[in-house]
Chain A
Amino acid sequence: MKRTLILLAVLAALSTFQSSAQTPATEVCPSSATLDELVKALDQAVSGPVDKDRSCLRELLMTDARLVPVSKAANGSYVPHPLTIDGWIDRVKKRGGMLYEVQTKVKSEVYGHIAHLWSTYEIRETPDGKATVRGINSIQAMNDGKRWRIFQVFWQAETPEELVPEKYLP
């Protein structure tokens, strides 16, 4: 009888261990109660393996958020390319590899429940690597009374011909 109980206890322990080993740890999304926290949460939600779980990014963005890179068209004019959240996730997945984004200098305007963050960003392949891309993010955010969420991100990446002005650099 005693041996049976011990065996059952060992099996139960093994079962629990196996179960926790199979279930990936759920990422706890960081707070965005303040604009400073929002910026850090954005960097965290964007950064990592490109195919990472994007639950925190979805939490941070309003469901109808638009992510809008601005790029040069064949005729030389600049055009916005609005993406949904899913569109951005797919686009980044196709890029492959790792992506680490950090906002290096942020200027904010805020009143009541709306805010604008004019932010210089850098992208690296590894957390401590050299920045391979730099540019400006123009971010509109809204506060629902509890936390800030992003409504639209509009950005242009730097080119050798169009350097980010000194005043926007850290």
Chain B
Amino acid sequence: MRRKLAKAQTSRRCVLLVWAFAICAGLSALGQTNPCEPIRDVKRFVPVWNDATIGPGSRDRSCWLRMLTPDARITGVVMGKDGKSTRTVESPKEFLAWYEARPNEMFWERTLHSSVEVYENVARVTRTYEVRASATGPVLSTGIEDFQLIRVGDSDGGEWKAFAMLWQDATPGKPLPRRYLPVAH
């Protein structure tokens, strides 16, 4: 996610890696979410996704992969300096390769706002996020992710998985609209 800005922030992230990793481990110990939990309730998707995303580039992301169908598409829209947009379309594994190539970088995210629409076995989840190099570090970027989800399997009511994710980083000239920010943001 957030690749354009993440590339520009590499050195800042490396400095805070050790700190952030320790905080990340602490959060996990608090048991706020279990990143590998099957998503029975679609409202659990965002917190589990958030926790499955944060961590160093070298993190085991098998839980993250479990949240997507094997044929999921991840599409990013990146704005160029000329104001033109380009898009990247990747499989989950192609997407993860970008992280794996940055094993020592820290990716810390917080969900700012999310909304869900669901009809039986299909759902939409929209989430805005902010990226930092650590839980308390400065915000490096913000953006939005839009998911299409399907409930697969029939045991225990099935499990929600993302079939598509569309994302775009916010740009300085076009910040996230107020309606996609926390009330007190």
Residues of chain A whose beta carbon lies under 8 Å from any beta carbon of chain B? 64, 66, 68, 70, 75-80, 82, 107, 109, 111-114, 116, 118, 135-136, 138, 140, 142-145, 151-152, 154-156, 162, 164-165, 168
Which interface residue of B89, B122, B158 has the most chain A CB atoms within 10 A?
B122
- Complex Cα distance A68/B150, Å? 11
Q: When the two chains form their complex, are residues B84 and A145 in contact, meaning their CB atoms are under 8 A apart?
A: yes
Q: Which B residues contact A (CB, under 8 angstroms)?
A: 69, 71, 73, 75, 77, 79, 83-85, 87, 89, 115, 117, 119-124, 126, 128, 144, 146, 148, 150-154, 158, 163-164, 166-168, 170-171, 174, 176-177, 180
CA distance A156 to B122 in the complex (A): 7
CB of A113 within 8 A of CB of B115, answer: no
Q: Which residues from chain A contact B87 at a C-beta distance below 8 Å?
A: 142
- In the bound complex, residues from chain B placing their C-beta under 8 Å from that of A135 are 119
Query: How near does chain B come to A35, taking the closest CB pair, in angstroms?
Result: 14
Instruction: Considering the complex, give the chain A residue whose CB is closest to the CB of B146.
Output: A116
Tell me whether A154 and B144 are in contact (CB under 8 A).
no
26 CB-based A-B contacts, threshold 8 Å: A64-B89, A68-B163, A75-B154, A77-B158, A78-B158, A80-B69, A109-B124, A111-B128, A111-B180, A112-B144, A112-B171, A114-B77, A116-B124, A136-B119, A138-B122, A138-B123, A138-B148, A140-B146, A142-B75, A142-B87, A145-B83, A152-B73, A154-B164, A155-B122, A156-B120, A168-B119
- A64-B89, A114-B167 known; 8 new pairs, CB 8 Å cut-off, are A70-B150, A78-B150, A107-B117, A109-B124, A112-B144, A136-B122, A142-B87, A155-B122
